Amino acid sequence: MDTAVNYRSTLVHEFYEHSLQLSQRNLGLRTLDIHYIHNPEVSRRVLGETAFYRGLEALIAWYERKVEEGCIRHYGMATWWGGLVADPASEWHMSLEKVLAVVRAVAGGSITIFVLCKCPSI
pTM listed for this prediction: 0.85
What are the structural domain ranges in the chain?
A: 3-118
- Sheet architecture: strand order including 32-38: 32-38, 72-78, 114-118
Model pLDDT, residue 96: 85
Amino acid letter for position 18: H
Mean pLDDT of 15-33: 96
- Report the range of poorest mean pLDDT among 28-32, 38-42, 64-68, 104-108: 38-42
Pick the more confident residue, 114 or 5.
114
Model pLDDT, residue 2: 45
Model pLDDT, residue 1: 38
- Asked if 88 and 39 count as a contact pair (C-beta separation under 8 A), the reply is no
pLDDT tens for 39-51 read 888 899 888 899 9
pLDDT tens for 75-87 read 998 887 766 777 8
Model pLDDT, residue 21: 96
CA separation (Å) from 50 to 30, 47, 115?
34, 8, 24
